[in-house]
Amino acid sequence: MSEVPQRFAGRTVMVTGAGTGYGAEIAVRAAKEGAGTVVVHYRSSSAGAERTAERVRGEGAQALLVQGDIVSWDDIKRMAATVDAELGHLDALINNVGDMASEQESWRDITEELIDHTLAVDIKGTMLMTHEFGTRMLKRERGAIVNIGSTVIVRGSPRAPQYAAGKYGVVGLTKSYAKAFAPHVRVNTFAPGFMKTERVLNRADWKAGRGEQLARDTPAGRIPEPDELAGTALFLASDEAAHITGSYMICDGGYSMLGA
């Protein structure tokens, strides 16, 4: 096994939605890469956040738990104030929280409530987190923000069109804030493909055989576990990506590649 790079030695990293799934793996990976403190955000999965915090501490980092709904600007301001008071500053923010309308199996199942919720979380929530924490980073003239997107930005989502719309919105706000915060704070989008998260594995279409079909259609030949892509997302927040801003990086084993 290759040695884990120490790209975040002594730095502070915040991951939203870190109580479960991909967010938890990014938080733990940040600790493995030397982060001094990892801020573990959650909305409702307090037990999951505690488990993530234990794993973070097991890797030698400090863990700060913060609870809040990213759709609420008041909650975000409160969380930002807590991070400032406890840590003094934040070096990297990974906006992992998103809504993929996983309970929706077809565009025919769409409802106004599903549209409103998905767009509120994916666009409004990501935008407010970027705005509030990025503004504070800008005062310090240092920081990096990674917004977790999706490969639907290149192929759309006939299953849930509002999900694709939300992630297209994430690309737009990423580019906008990257320009607004330049040159001191970088903002990028990381667009992973399918991962074997609990939410995806529990989808009815996945259980009905879509998982096997997706693996066959992926040039890399398989669907990865969430922890395999955690370090890749963090790359965009590291000094190795110092000249990358306002961009998006796709990581899907070639699934979205023309002709794949």
Residue 97 within any structural domain of the chain: yes
Determine how many CB atoms are found less than 10 A away from the CB of residue 113.
Answer: 8
Q: Which domain holds residue 229?
A: 12-251
- Mapping DSSP to helix (H, G, I), strand (E, B) and coil, where does residue 227 land? helix
**Residue 198: inside a domain:** yes
Domain assignment present for residue 153? The answer is yes
Q: 5 in a domain, yes or no?
A: no
Which secondary structure element, helix H or strand E, spans residue 64, and what is its range?
Answer: strand 62-67
Averaged pLDDT in 10-residue chunks for the chain of 260 residues: 87 97 97 98 95 98 98 98 97 93 81 94 97 97 97 89 95 98 98 86 80 89 93 97 97 83
171 in Cβ contact with 150 (< 8 Å): no
pTM: 0.94
**Residue 163 among the catalytic residues:** yes
Task: Note the maximum CA span of the chain.
Answer: 51
124: left (phi over 0), alpha (psi -120 to 50) or beta: alpha
126 in a structural domain? yes
Residues 71 and 44: their CA atoms lie apart, in Å, by 13
How many helical (H) and strand (E) elements, i.e. helices and strands, does the chain have? Answer: 11, 7
DSSP state of 2: P
* Residue the block writes with tokens 């070639």: 254
Give the integer Cα–Cα distance in Å for 250 and 197.
18
Catalytic site residue from 42, 163, 177, 248:
163
Does some domain include residue 51?
yes
Nearest to 234 by CA among 135, 66, 96: 96
Does residue 3 lie within any of the structural domains?
no
Total domains in the fold of the chain: 1
The domain that contains 62 carries what CATH number? 3.40.50.720
- Give the model confidence (pLDDT) of 212-252 as tens digits: 888 888 999 999 999 999 999 999 999 999 999 999 999 99
Residue 2 located in a structural domain: no
Q: Residues 161-176: pLDDT tens digits?
A: 999 999 999 999 999 9
Beta bridge partners of 38: 13, 63
